[in-house]
Structure 1
Amino acid sequence: MVALAASALGACSMMPAYERPVAPVPASLPQTQQSAGPVSAQAGDSAAWADYFADERLRGVIALALDNNRDLRIAALNIERARAQYGIQRADLLPSIAVSGGQSAQRVPGDLNMSGESAISRQYSANLGFASYELDFFGRVRSLEEQALQVYLGTEEARRSAQVSLVAEVANAWLRLAADRERLALARSTLETRQQSVTLVRRSLELGAVSALDLNQAETLLQTARADAARYAALVAQDENALALLVGAAVPAGLQPPALDDSVAAVPVLPADLSSEVLVRRPDVAQAERALMAANASIGAARAAFFPRITLTASAGTASSTLDGLFDAGSGAWSFVPQIRIPIFEAGRLQASLDVAEIQRDINVAQYEKAIQSAFREVADALAERATLAEQLAARQALVQATQRSFELSEARYKGGVDSYLNLLDAQRSLYGAQLELIGTRLSDAVNRVALYKALGGGWR
């Protein structure tokens, strides 16, 4: 009955009505031209990454990371802790009922007793009741419960944010490994080709067909390729270590990329009039809003502190001077102790607490607006880069083709005795540099797709 009355009276709440702040960004995302296929991923869906990334090996690595990554485990445990804390706060809405039993014994000396003889008195009791249960007339307890709920939901958003970030980090590490392995393969192939060239030039020098300068120049290019091969071998090993750390376990060889695959991810086609409201579904933005809602609830608790607090303590049971008479007829006992606390003079403490709660709410509003602005910029930057990557790729591919033809012509002219060996070496150097730059541009293209996935919070549909 007490709990029912408290529920009815607790409808009076001092918590201000929550209103989502207006996003301080343009109403629509930037318009860009994209040439990728659509993605059916749902925003916030834990399986959205599986629909976004096309490479089966990459999906397998991401799945391993989601199972083994320690940071994600910590985020999940934080959720469990917040859920337990919310359960503690929610329990204050109902009285805590407990059974208690006890005995008290007292010896009174003779000079304090009317009979002049010492006496020992005992009392036994068994009770059922509750202590210090607050009747939530002004919604203080409910405001604190709402605050704990929003903190709990915010930790869930933090876990989602950690998952999106982990997926993006794993994808980027996997892509860097693929690109560095392709660079290593190119450096080793170039090293082998230049080793053959040095052998041929040395034989030509022995026959007197070329000068020692030609041999020195060929050896210069050979040592450059040798250094590059060693450097990329170290980078590949470091990439493997970084990927294993993110995954939280050794990555099977079958899931590691031999080279960079152009179809590693599918990019969603964003409509030209896509509203910026999709950004509020990003986990980090949703977490900032949950923090704002928790701060809003704390204002209700601070306001309710200005009003009287009524607490109840009640119990019912039996009491007797002897243990065997504890449950005899007429041994029933009960107590009912209502208390009211009315704040009169707090030296400004209550007003200061309310000011702190309101200022904290304003801080959370600013943090929420900053989260929206940061999300908008990340999406805009990814889309701006996306708009030029296709042209960059086409230009790099055309450059490789042009330098390849130039190398073939220089080689033919050198063998025909028309051109010097120096021009052939320059053509080799230009072709090698163009091939490395093409790999770098392809990596930038794939990394941009991952950045777009992360900026959109794992999807937008």
Structure 2
Amino acid sequence: MKQTFNISPVRLSLIATSLSAALLLSACADFSGIKEQATEIKVSLSGQTESVRWPDASWSEELGGSQLSQLIQNALKDNPGIQLAATRITNARALQDQFAADRQISLTGNAESTYQRFTKNGMVPPPLAGSSESNNQATVNLSYELDFWGKHQAQSRVGLSTEQAAKAETESAKLLLSNAIARQWVQLQKQAGQLTLTEQQLKLRKEWDSLIQQRLKAGLDNRSELQQNLVSVANLQSEVLNWREAIAQTKLQLALLAGQTPEYANSIATPVTSRTVDFHLPSELPLDLISRKPEIIAAKWRIEAMRGEVELAKNRFYPNINLVGFAGLSSLGLDKLLKSDSTIMGVGPAIHLPLFEGGRLRAQLAGKVADTDSAVLQYNQTVLNALKDAAEQLQTLQSTSLQIVQQEQAQQAAQQVLTLNRQRFEIGTSNRLPVISAELALISQQKNMAELSARQLDARVNLIKALGGSYPATRQ
């Protein structure tokens, strides 16, 4: 037996009337007095900035060779903080999938069977009244949301922005970790250099002590000079131990940053202290390079996500219209369930009308707008902090460059004194002590230079972080 399903003119008129009422009610949405108050700081890429591509993506290779580069790569893979940040991307993608599913037709199946006794004193007519029978129903239910107000577009905005923010935040975490490892590497390189220079000083002081002992035996010197040298030897021995301890602690810190156990520190080789590093710093670095900093990009995407949330909050003022339908079988008694006469079906709109919410919807919208203002202010603060950080690192670089020039002059003067003393010693007009004294003075200048060089290198590494590393600029 063929079943037909027709919608009567009355039914069509009811559906049309419902939709018309919903459209009219949409005009009653009141957003007055609820709007953003905060204004974003504009930081965008200029033509000049696009011509400056600094730093190069291989900056870690230039700084510490393949060992530092590999250490950073392992850390980015194994560090729990990076792994945690990556899960936010997965969550954001799941949110997008959820929103995408909301835009599709929803089909659900429902089946139930209830054995019951029907009352004689109710609305159930005989012969069913007073009898017991099973009430059975099996249906497929359809639901599709009609989007008249841009809800799905707002959901897409929230989902996409949240995912992009999560990606940028992950890159920000990677940049912070890379920066931390590179700075520890710079410290390790400095500590190794200072240990070498201190050991050289200690060796010279011991030679000094041997010469003073000889002069004492010959009656050419007094014991006060010997005692002063013994104090210097003791201080240098303590300094050697301190540098060795600092190296061990820095290696341990590098192991932990790399997401490894403390035993991994033993496999970290001491950097070559003679390695020269030149990042080819441009003569001018526009501060709007920070627009590519992942932390700032993430903050910008968070604003976009919040504005999507505002649009969703506005959507709640409008009627929610769903097209619903069902088709299936229904019968009293299981033996009749599969018969053609047991077919049931229906279709129609389901409309949710927010007629009176006691100000709840306006309060929710105001809260989302306030959250957007908060996101804008956080973005502005992030931009200002980045500008301050970049300016400070540039200032440190300029200051240390001037100090290094002065230090080079002092080091050259110490080298000239050593050369003159060696010449006098070689021609026999002086003994070895003035040569040792000049060598000690030169090493002291070299240690000062090592401190300045490490400070300059640290500032360059920090400038890389301040300007976003090698992270590519994206839409602002």
Counterpart secondary structure, 1:262: coil
User: Distance between the aligned counterparts of 2:379 and 2:42, measured in 1?
Assistant: 10
Distance in structure 1 (CA, Å) of the matches to 2:414 and 2:150: 76
Provide Cα deviations, 1:56-100, integer angstroms capped at 9, x if missing partner.
332222222222222111111221122212322332222321222
Structure 1 partner of 2:8 = none
Shift of 1:402: 2.0
- Which one is further off, 148-157 or 85-94? 85-94
Corresponding position: 1:229 with 2:240: yes
Residues 278 and 408 of structure 1: CA distance in aligned 2, closer, same or farther (over 3 Å): closer
1:218-257 superposed matches below 5 A: 218-249=229-260, 250=264, 253=267, 256-257=270-271
For residues 444 and 287 of structure 1, do their structure 2 counterparts lie closer, same or farther at Cα, with a shift above 3 Å needed?
A: same
Deviation of 1:360 after TM superposition, in Å, equals 2.0
CA distance in 1, matches of 2:107, 2:127: 42
Partner of 1:100: 110
CA separation of 1:383 and 1:201: change in aligned 2, threshold 3 A: same
Helix, strand or coil: the match of 1:98?
A: strand
The farther-off stretch of 438-447 and 109-118 is 109-118
In the alignment, what sits opposite 1:269?
282
The Cα of 1:117 is off from its aligned counterpart by 9.2
Indicate whether 1:438 and 2:452 are aligned: no
Corresponding residue of 1:81:
91
Match of 1:298 among 303, 309, 323: 309
Per-residue CA shift, 1:325-352, capped at 9, x if unaligned? Answer: 4332222112336332222322222222
List per-residue Cα deviations over 1:385-435 (Å, max 9, x = no partner).
3334333323223322322443565688899797997x8887566434322
Q: Which residue of 1 aligns with 2:384?
A: 373
Query: Which of the numbers 79, 84, 91 marks the counterpart of 2:101?
Result: 91
DSSP 3-state at the match of 1:105: strand
- With over 3 angstroms needed to count, the CA separation of the structure-2 counterparts of 1:85 and 1:419, relative to structure 1, is same
> Which SS does the other structure have where 1:389 is aligned?
helix
Match of 1:72 in 2: 82
Hey, what does 2:359 align to over in structure 1?
348
> Residue 39 of structure 1: CA displacement?
5.6
Indicate if the aligned counterparts of 2:111 and 2:138 stay in contact, CA closer than 8 A.
yes
CA contact (8 A) 1:184 1:229 kept: yes
Could you tell me which residue of structure 2 aligns to residue 146 of structure 1?
A: 157
- The answer as to whether partners of 2:116 and 2:135 remain within 8 angstroms in 1 is no
Cα distance change on mapping 1:420 and 1:458 into 2, 3 Å: closer
Aligned partners of 2:119, 2:130: CA distance in 1, in Å? 4
What is the alpha-carbon distance in structure 2 between the residues aligned to residue 97 and residue 267 of structure 1? 62
- Report the residue type matching 2:103 in the other structure: L
Counterpart AA for 1:167? S
CA distance in structure 1 between the partners assigned to 2:247 and 2:337 by the alignment: 81
* Most deviating of 145-154 and 182-191: 145-154
Q: How do 1:34-433 residues align onto structure 2 when only pairs under 5 Å count? A: 41=56, 49=59, 53=63, 55-108=65-118, 119-130=131-142, 133-249=144-260, 250=264, 253=267, 256-259=270-273, 261-263=275-277, 266-269=279-282, 274=286, 276-336=287-347, 338-407=349-418, 430-433=441-444
SS at match of 1:340: strand
Q: Percent identity?
A: 24
Change (3 A) 1:130 1:52: farther
Aligned-partner Cα distance in 2 for 1:270–1:87? 47
Report how many aligned residue pairs link the two structures: 436
For each residue in 1:111-150, what CA deviation from the matched residue of structure 2 results, as whole angstroms up to 9, or x when unmatched?
889679963211332222235x543222235423422331
Distance apart, 1:222 and its partner CA: 0.6
In 2, Cα distance between equivalents of 1:40 and 1:436: 28
2:272 corresponds to which letter in structure 1? Answer: P
Q: Residues 251, 190 of structure 1: CA spacing in aligned structure 2 closer, same or farther, 3 A cutoff?
A: same
Instruction: Report Cα offsets for 1:208-267 as digits up to 9, x if no partner.
Output: 22111011011111111101101001100001001111112326847541326222x523
What displacement does 1:375 show?
2.1
Structure-2 residue corresponding to 1:23:
41
Equivalent residues of 1:204, 1:210 under 8 A apart: yes
Consecutive unaligned residues in structure 2, runs of 5 or more: 1-18
Aligned equivalents of 1:156, 1:150: Cα separation in 2: 10
SS in 2 for 1:55: helix
* CA pair 116-156 structure 1, distance change in 2 beyond 3 A: closer
Pair 1:390–1:111, CA change in 2 (3 A): closer
> Given residue 205 of structure 2, which amino acid in structure 1 is its aligned partner?
R
Answer yes or no: is the 8 Å Cα contact 2:190–2:450 preserved in 1: yes
Cα separation, 2, equivalents of 1:126 and 1:28: 65
One-letter identity of the residue aligned with 2:105 = P
State whether residues 38 and 268 of structure 1, in contact with CA within 8 Å, keep that contact through their aligned partners in structure 2.
no
Q: Which amino acid in structure 1 is aligned with residue 308 of structure 2?
A: A
Unmatched 5+ stretches in structure 1: 1-5, 32-36, 42-46
Q: CA 1:457–1:39 in structure 2 vs 1: closer, same or farther (change >3 Å)?
A: closer
Q: Which residue of structure 1 aligns with residue 4 of structure 2?
A: none
Q: Which whole-Å CA distance do the structure 2 matches of 1:328 and 1:116 have between them?
A: 19
Give the TM-score of the pair, scaled to structure 1: 0.81
**Shift of residue 166, structure 1, vs aligned partner:** 1.5
SS in 2 for 1:330: helix
Q: Does the 8 Å contact 1:178/1:257 carry over to 2?
A: yes
CA RMSD of aligned residues (A): 3.9
Q: Counterparts of 2:349 and 2:469 in 1: how far apart (Å)?
A: 54
